[in-house]
Amino acid sequence: MVKAVIFDLDGTLLYTLDSIALSTNKVLEANGLPPVTHEQLKRFVGDGVIDLLKRSFAAGGAAKEANEAHVAQFRACFREDCDYHVAPYEGIPELLAFLEEAGMRAACNTNKPHENAVKLIKKHFGTHIATVQGNVPELPKKPDAAGVNVIVKALGCAAEEAVYVGDSDVDIFTARNAGCRSIGAAWGYRGEEELKKAGADFIAYNPTDIIEILKCK
């Protein structure tokens, strides 16, 4: 029986590329590097800020690797930019309403900085998302299962009673490491091929597909 559905944030619940691009390119410009495109960012996001910047610096031909000072620059920008052109994907509100009616709890596990994740979830979903676990220094980031473990404990269920929904291989690996079944969000940044290759248990092409998947569980 499914008691909880744990969602990734970027590319799964919310379209966020414009906001990430704005802060990333501010940091790149400040360091004399060319901007990255949205298509590049689709491959760069998902593993936390430091990896995002390392990939962006490398794409711009930087002589040195991005470091924690650049992360601090990004975070300073992102405090203002994190909700720039951000919006829920079509079908997400209907999916969350279905979960509530079915007695399933919704949660969010993301490698986005925790304070930004909480801000976005609260603004766009209010109380429809029961708990959020973003990236914090004391927990290893995804694909480690630590964030999922915190969430299922807070929700009072076991990992095997949860389904994990995400748009990248990182999310599918996170689900596997935690002992959850996984649904690949093919509408997100990485696409169907990556999700299938990672071993997603199910593929959803839009959020309302998840309703049908869950009805069969």
Segment 96-150, tens digit of pLDDT: 999 999 999 999 999 999 999 999 999 999 999 999 999 999 999 999 999 999 9
Closest of 217, 202, 191 to residue 12, by C-alpha: 191
Cα separation of the two ends of the chain: 7
Q: Is 8 a catalytic residue?
A: yes
- What does each C-alpha distance from 153 to 112, 143, 202 come to in angstroms? 21, 18, 25
Which of the residue ranges 43-47, 64-68, 173-177, 213-217 would you say has the lowest mean pLDDT?
A: 213-217
Pick one of 3.20.20.140, 3.20.20.70, 3.40.605.10, 3.40.50.1000 as the CATH number of 4-15+86-215. 3.40.50.1000
Q: What is the mean pLDDT of residues 68-90?
A: 95
| pLDDT at 1 (0 to 100) | 85
pLDDT class of 184 with cuts at 50, 70, 90 = very high
Residues of the chain with pLDDT > 90, as a percent, come to 97
Q: Which CATH architecture has domain 17-81?
A: Orthogonal Bundle (1.10)
- The residue with tokens 């995400």 is 166
Does the pLDDT at position 35 exceed 70? yes
Q: Where are the alpha helices (DSSP H) in 10-168?
A: 17-30, 38-44, 49-59, 68-81, 92-102, 114-125, 146-155
Which of the residue ranges 14-18, 46-50, 112-116, 213-217 would you say has the lowest mean pLDDT?
A: 213-217
Catalytic residue among 8, 81, 167, 209: 8
| pLDDT at 78 (0 to 100) | 93
Segment 40-72, tens digit of pLDDT: 999 999 999 999 999 999 999 998 999 999 999
Instruction: Give the predicted TM-score (pTM) of the model.
Output: 0.94
Residue extents of the structural domains in the chain: 4-15+86-215, 17-81
